[in-house]
A and B are shown apart, each in its own frame.
Chain A
Amino acid sequence: MKSIIKGAKRYGAIYSIIVKNCILNELEYRTNFFMQIFASLVSLLTHFVYVIVVYRSGVNIAGLTSDHILLFTGTYFIMTAIYAFFFVNNFFAFQGHIRHGTMDMYLIKPVSLQFILSLRLINVMGIPDFIVGIGLVCVAWSRLGLETNAMQLLGYAGYIIGGGVMTYALMMLPQVLAFWFTNTSSLYNLGAQLWEANTMPMVIYNRMIQAIGTFVFPIFVVSNIAPLYVLDKLTITGLVWGICAPFLFFALVRVLFLQGLKRYTSASN
């Protein structure tokens, strides 16, 4: 237990240095920094039009009012922020390391290879998504008159963290496959398209899509479980699956990463 705490502290310290360095690096090129924020805000707008359309239609879709949809959209923005801030730049670079053999220089570092390859870059585009997402969730929470007690807040936060782990696992999966297929950019693009499925709550889809998106390729676990929990619409299966699935898929990615690493050949380097 003591060694786990020590390890966590060490990785925490390493990660805080990574974040500090990345932010300083971003701030060095201010025009680029503000361009990223601008791009993020415009992207948010293009996703927010879905909520505008639902509000303007004035109907409850699949038993959800416009305020319910707002809660789901806000959660989706928070998860997009987590994906963008922590992972997207790292995943984008991952297959390049395999293809060009630049993974060598990370192999010799005295830290977990998967840790450094997954988290060494941040993307400031996640910041506006996070702020807007939190804002939308607060507005929806208040309009829906949801209870604000420790159970609700902890449950929501817990499922958000679970969603973050699931995000890592699902979006890392195509990257890890690069050990076998070298060029997985098409899979990466497909993953990015699947991510958009969370723009709307999963209840709008038919039963088959819901089942596939929950249990086979659990993209809906990312941003649907947390709002369903606070709305008290989560079944026992959903409650348990929402806790277990992120760990299961994280373990799957870890196993694939270790297996794939054995195939790494330092090509081109």
Chain B
Amino acid sequence: MKKYVQVFKLSLLSSLEYKVYFLFSILGAFLPIVIQYFMWRSIFEASEVPIVFGYTFQQMFMYTVFSAMISKIISSGIQFEISNDIKYGQFSSFLYRPASYTLYKVSSYLGGKAVYLLLSFLIIYSVLITFQIDIATSGIRLLVFASALLFSFVLNFLIYHIISSLSFWLDEIWYFYFAMGFLITLLSGGIFPLDIFGDTVSLFASFLPFKYTIFFPVNIINGRYDMYEIITGLSLQFIWIVILYMVSRICWGLGNKKYSAVGG
């Protein structure tokens, strides 16, 4: 465990090294929110009714803010790192190290994200206080939100871990990662709430694990789910984690057999 804590510390220090990059990445996270804020404001102003697609303006704006923040929190970029390690042979060094490659990546990711996570929580909390969303700030709501967020992170990590194992078979895979990234963001509700696209899309998305990474936790804090729906959602998150964990173990095991240390 000590070695992973050390990796965490090193990544934390490394993330603080590039302060300007860090600040710009925070700023960059707000730009999509600005675009959507003005778009939704125009739509709600033009609409004759206060509820559009089943959302009030405040709920839609909150959704935009939280989905942008949560996408940033749970995104890891692990697929690009793994792909590079496999392609250039750095993965070989992990085969004889007394450490798990996956746990190493998790520790490194958490260290790199620690400050970002802290700032994100502060921003989320400030938004909740400013807009007086007491429904989500009450103790139990915040607690289940935190649990859902933790599950989202694990779920998202497993999804990308499975996709990353394709690097064992394909050398040039970056564009596939980009495509999958766009698709997963869309199906997670990272751009717009999934239910605004109609019942068919909503039903289709509910059979996939992606909506439990962004759409579900955002709607907890947005106050759109009652406690029964939250418990159901948390259970489904957990079930998907178990399924994807098994799939990732199988894919990773098959990939390891295929690994040929090209470039190493």
Contact = CB atoms under 8 A, between A and B. Distances in A.
A186 B175 contact: no
A193 B28 contact: yes
B41 to A, nearest CB: 8
Interface residues of B, number: 37
Contacts of A193: 28, 31-32
Contacts, number: 105
Contacts of B128: none
A222 to B, nearest CB: 15
B176 interface: yes
A190 interface: yes
A268 B32 CA distance: 37
B196 interface: yes
Interface residues of A, number: 40
B175 A53 contact: no
A82 to B, nearest CB: 19
A49 B196 CA distance: 11
A46 B24 contact: no
Contact of B38 (A187, A189, A196, A200): A200
B178 interface: yes
B46 A32 contact: no
A194 interface: yes
Interface stretch (B86-94, B136-144, B183-191, B232-240): B183-191
A59 B191 contact: no
Given A35-B179, A49-B192, A205-B38, A54 B31 contact: no
A29 B173 CA distance: 12
B1 interface: no
Contacts of B18: 183, 186
A196 B183 contact: no
Interface in A34-64: 35-36, 38-39, 41-43, 45-46, 49-50, 52-54, 56-57, 59-62
Interface string A4-37: 0000000000000000000000000101100110
Contact of A35 (B52, B53, B172): B172
A111 interface: no
A223 to B, nearest CB: 14
A123 B56 CA distance: 42
Given A35-B179, A49-B186, A59 B28 contact: no
A204 interface: yes
A185 interface: yes
A36 B175 CA distance: 5
A186 B21 contact: yes
Interface in B179-204: 179, 182-183, 185-186, 191-192, 196-198
A199 B173 contact: no
Interface of A: 29, 31-32, 35-36, 38-39, 41-43, 45-46, 49-50, 52-54, 56-57, 59-62, 125, 183, 185-187, 189-190, 193-194, 196-197, 199-200, 204-206, 209
Given A52-B197, A56-B53, 16 more contacts: A32-B172, A32-B175, A35-B175, A38-B179, A42-B178, A42-B183, A56-B197, A57-B43, A59-B47, A61-B43, A61-B46, A186-B18, A190-B27, A190-B31, A197-B34, A197-B35
